[in-house]
Structure 1
Amino acid sequence: MNISQASNKELAKNISVDPSLISLLRTGKRKQPQNRDHIKNMASFFAKKCSADYQRNALSEMLGQSSISPNMPAEILAERLDLWLTKDPDITDQLFQGMETVPSKP
């Protein structure tokens, strides 16, 4: 959330859920969404929002993939984020809860 500089309301609107769900995910009161489309839509949203070099670098570190570049199409990045998010349900929780240490804009 911090890497993309997105608000709960903005993400919720883009994935067609109530902002309170995003808030519950971020506080850990809700676990990974059961609706697979929500996760796919989140991945697509974050891929589109993270187009700057510093954002792509932060995503590279977070995903453990050095091949994420500013030139990577958002669709490819969305696929990688989707795989990363669905690989381990706890990762989605970490995405919302553990993003306090994010590189700042240069």
Structure 2
Amino acid sequence: MGNSHLASKCHTREDSLNEPPVLGANGILARIPGQYVSAALSLLPPAASTLERHQEVEMDAGPAGRVRFFAEKMRARHHRHSHYFWSVYRAEPVSVKNPL
């Protein structure tokens, strides 16, 4: 018994292995330390009491500078119970306008 060695390939499209990844799909999210992403999520309203599915928050992310985080409302279900939470799916740098 156990998992087949081919099981990991059954969940992906056949041509997805040959396609190059989309550059910039996540912005700079992969380069931002987790404590800044967590701090951005804490600035959002509670997901259970919000009707909006997408939120944006802008904050200083340390070495990455000023960053805009994009979050999506998600739902985790276990039997009859649900829990709503925010999940950050994109981050992009905010350009600072020169006052001169």
| Pairwise TM-score range, normalised by the shorter structure | under 0.3
Identify, as 1 or 2, the structure richer in strand.
2
Structure with greater Cα Rg: 2
TM-score by length of 1: 0.26
Identify, as 1 or 2, the structure richer in helix.
1
TM-score by length of 2: 0.27
Task: Considering Cα pairs closer than 8 Å and 6+ residues apart, tell me whether 1 or 2 has the greater RCO.
Answer: 1
